[in-house]
Chains A and B, each alone.
Chain A
Amino acid sequence: MSLSKTIYNTLFKRSSTFALTCVVSAFVFERGFNLGCDTFFETINKGKLWQDIKDNYTQ
C-alpha cells in the first residue's frame, strides 16, 4: 500500500479522523509557523531587541 493510500485510509477516510486531522495539523502548523517567523525576526534583529539587552539591567 502506498504512502498516500495509508494516509488516506488512516486519516482522511472517516469524518471523525478527518476533522481531528484538521484540528491537530492546524495547531501544529500554527505553532511551527509562528516559531519559525519569530526566530527569523529575532535572528536578523539580534542585539537590538529588549530580550537581548535586558540582562544588562537585571541582576
Chain B
Amino acid sequence: MAASVGRICGAGLFKSNKTNCLRQIKSFSTTREWTTGKKTLFGSLGVLAGGAGVLIYALDKSVRASDLELHPPENPWSHSGWFKSLDHASIRRGYEVYKQVCAACHSLRFIAYRNLVGVSHTEDEAKAEAEEQMITDGPDESGNMFQRPGKLSDYVPGPYANEEAARAANNGAFPPDLSYIVLARHGGEDYIFSLLTGYYDAPAGVILREGQFFNPYFPGGAISMAQALYNEAIEYSDGTPATASQLAKDVATFLKWTSEPEFDDRQRLLIKVIGISTILLAITYYAKRFKWSSLKTRKIEFRPKNK
C-alpha cells in the first residue's frame, strides 16, 4: 500500500508542471500543420460561437425595461439552492389553500389523490380527502353515468364541466389548470407569489373593464382574477398564522410540487452525481498519468557516430 502511494506521488500526481504542459501542446498540437486560411476560419468560427453565447446570455439577463409588466423579485425559497428539498409542511398547507380557495375556480387535473401519499398526507388522510369529492363514473349496465365518492386513484376533480362553463362563470376569462402553472410562467413560484400578493388600486389612466383588477405582475396589468388571498382567509390545521403572504408562499410551494413532483429526487440525485463524478474523475486522472508515465519519463539520446 505504502509502496503504491509512494509510486503515485513519485509520478508527480500532485505536482503541477506548467512548462511540461506548454511544451506538450507545442509538440502534440494537431493545428500546427493547418494553413493560415484554415486557422482564420476556425478562429472566426470560435469567436462567432462565443459571441453568440455571450449575446444570448446578455439578452436573458437584460432587465427587459421595455415590457409593460413588473417582473417578480426572487424570493429566498427554502428549496432554492443546491441539494435543498421542498418544505413538505408547506406543501401540506398549500394543499389546504388550494382546496379551500383556488379550487373554487381552478382545476388541478394532473394530480391524483394517490400522489399526495407520502408527500403531504398519509394514506388514510389522502383517502379521506378523496372520499370528500363526488366523482362521475360509469356508464353502468343501463348506460347511465353515476356519482360515487372518490378513490385514491382519482384525479382532483375540477370546478367546471368544461372550458366554456369556466369562461361563462368568470366574465369570459379562463382560469387555467394549476397543475403545471409554475413551469408555464416566467418566474415560476416567484411569479405565483407576487401575483397573489400583488393587487393594487389601479393607478390613474389605467382603464379596467368590468370584472378586471389591477395587478402589475400580470402581463398587461388587468387580470380577471379577483384578489383571492387575504389575511385569515382560511385557518390552517397546523395553527400557522394565516397571513396573506403565508398563504401565497404555501400555495406557491404546493404548485411548485405539482409542477415538479420529482424535485426532491432530482436534488438527491445531484449529490450522487457529483460524488460519483468526482471519484471517476480522480480515477481517470490517475489512470492517464499511470499509462503515460513510461512514455513521459523516457529519454531519447542522440549519439552521433563519431568513430
Which range contains the number of B residues in contact with the other chain?
20 to 34
Residues from chain B with a CB closer than 8 A to the CB of A57 are 121-122, 125
Taken residue by residue from 272 to 299, chain B's Cβ proximity to chain A (1 for < 8 Å, 0 otherwise) reads as 1001100000000000000000000000
Inter-chain CA distance A2–B118, complex, in Å, is 52
Where the two chains meet, the residues of A that have a C-beta atom closer than 8 Å to any C-beta of B are: 2-4, 33-34, 36-38, 40-41, 44-45, 48-50, 52-54, 56-58
Our pick among A3, A37, A48, A50 for the contact of B275 (Cβ within 8 Å) is A37
A33-B275, A41-B83, A41-B271 are known contacts. Are A48 and B88 too (CB-CB below 8 A)? yes
Pair A4/B88 contact, Cβ less than 8 Å: no
Q: Which of B241-277 contact A (CB under 8 A)?
A: 264, 267-268, 271-272, 275-276
Taken residue by residue from 116 to 132, chain B's Cβ proximity to chain A (1 for < 8 Å, 0 otherwise) reads as 00111110010000000
Pair A3/B1 contact, Cβ less than 8 Å: yes
Pair A33/B276 contact, Cβ less than 8 Å: yes
Number of A-B contacts (CB under 8 A): 52
A2-B1, A4-B1 are known contacts. Are A48 and B272 too (CB-CB below 8 A)? no
Q: How far is the CB of A50 from chain B (nearest CB, A)?
A: 5
Our pick among A37, A48, A54 for the contact of B122 (Cβ within 8 Å) is A54
Residues from chain B with a CB closer than 8 A to the CB of A33 are 272, 275-276
Inter-chain CA distance A45–B85, complex, in Å, is 6
Some 16 contacts from A to B, beta carbons below 8 A apart, are A2-B1, A2-B3, A33-B272, A33-B275, A34-B272, A36-B275, A37-B275, A41-B83, A44-B84, A45-B84, A49-B85, A50-B118, A50-B119, A53-B88, A57-B122, A58-B122
